Amino acid sequence: MDESDQGAAARNLGPNRLAPMRFVLAFGVVSMLADIVYEGARAVTGPYLATFGASAALVGFITGFGEAVALVFRLFTGRISDRTHRHWALSIVGYAITVVAVPVLALSTALWQAAGLVIAERFGKAVRTPARDTMLAQASADTGRGTAFAIHEALDQSGALLGPLLVAGVIAVSGYELGFAVLAVPGALALLTLAWLRCAVPKPAAYEHPHEDDARGAAGAAPTRLPGRFWLYTAFTSVSMAGFATFGVLSYHLQVRHVLSAGLIPVTYSAAMGAAALAALASGHLYDRIGLRGLVIALPLSAAVPFLSFSAHPAWVWIGALVWGAAMGIHESTLRAAVADLVPAPRRGSGYGVFTAAYGLAWLAGSTIIGVLYDRSITAVIVFTLATQLAALALFVPLAVQRPRTPVAG
């Protein structure tokens, strides 16, 4: 970086003490610690609910309902984020809900209690995510949306890799209760790191708008409607997610069919999260180079999941976990990054809220259907998954042939 670049970078910091990419990295550390907490729990949600007598359909409904809460409620929290600009407050409250709910699972004595805490953890994600993604979008204005979101997701997924391993080790020695309780430690570290980051970067909007007057002017001139291309993109992702099983259902299969031991199930989830991190980095780089067309790879990955993950052979199940994780990594990173380029800056919170609300409803419906079909026939699950991915491809074609908005180069 030459002197002129350094001067420009300094001017774009505004009141913040961290450069944009360092902010992305620091937020990635927060997400990594939080992921150790909630992904550690999610790795064993299906088997844990099964210990209370839950069926596959009920596990599919509970985990799908939790994902729907995490996504649909963003419709409201996104609007609150846009209207109040309290991005930090919403982020902190959301993380706090999550890191408290998970360790309390150790105290559950009934299915309804465990299910309520699983859903509460997801609600915390609904509260924080639109505000957090808005701040990440602000910080990635000059670095490339795909790259920034991919780096954040890779760090995030490193926590998702470590959390299940931690839980697997504890469960193998002491059972589920201590496995959940130990997650209070990384949860506390996540909140402390978030508090430090809030002090270091009080106004992430300054990365995108160095002068607050410019930011207010841009907000005042913003259109009130979300673009048609955004709605088509939302339909595409929603239909694709309708055929994407939650890991709760996959892990339920491993438990009740005795494909893997209870201690190995969270390890498969850890492997999936490692694949997710790598897929996020690759797809983010691809998105910054060729735009939306690079996202089509998520469809064949999703279509392959039931062929592998519902197998009775451990080797295929392990491969299925990697494929499921790769698809999840693309959904959780690059698909989010594209929303920032499809929606006007002052409407990003609302855009993320609408996008993830539709995404969540589709996942709720799809995961419930997959759970019901699983109790009847794995072949029916495969047919349903293939049908949804083909329908998603039909919706993707217009997106691919339309002239895309040029992404920001990294």
DSSP per position, 88-116: HHHHHHHHHHHHHHHHHGGG--SHHHHHH
The per-residue pLDDT for 66 is 83
The per-residue pLDDT for 10 is 44
DSSP per position, 49-70: HHTTT--HHHHHHHHHHHHHHH
* Letter string b/e over residues 91-104, b meaning 16 or more CB atoms within 10 A of that residue's CB: bbbbbbbbbbbbbb
* Model confidence pLDDT, tens digit, residues 69-107: 887 788 889 889 888 889 999 999 999 999 999 999 988
**Torsion angle in degrees (nearest 10) through CA of 284, 124, 69, 388:** 20
The CATH architecture assigned to 20-203+226-401 reads: Up-down Bundle (1.20)
* Model confidence pLDDT, tens digit, residues 134-168: 899 888 877 777 888 888 888 887 887 888 888 88
- Per-residue three-class SS string for 352-372: HHHHHHHHHHHHHHHHHHHHH
Report which of residues 171 and 322 the model is more confident about: 322
* Model confidence pLDDT, tens digit, residues 239-296: 999 999 888 788 888 888 888 887 788 788 888 888 988 888 888 888 888 877 878 8
The answer to whether 348 and 339 are in contact (CB under 8 A) is yes
pLDDT-derived band of residue 221, with 50, 70 and 90 as boundaries? very low
The per-residue pLDDT for 193 is 95
The per-residue pLDDT for 13 is 62
pLDDT-derived band of residue 402, with 50, 70 and 90 as boundaries? low
Where are the domains positioned within the chain?
20-203+226-401
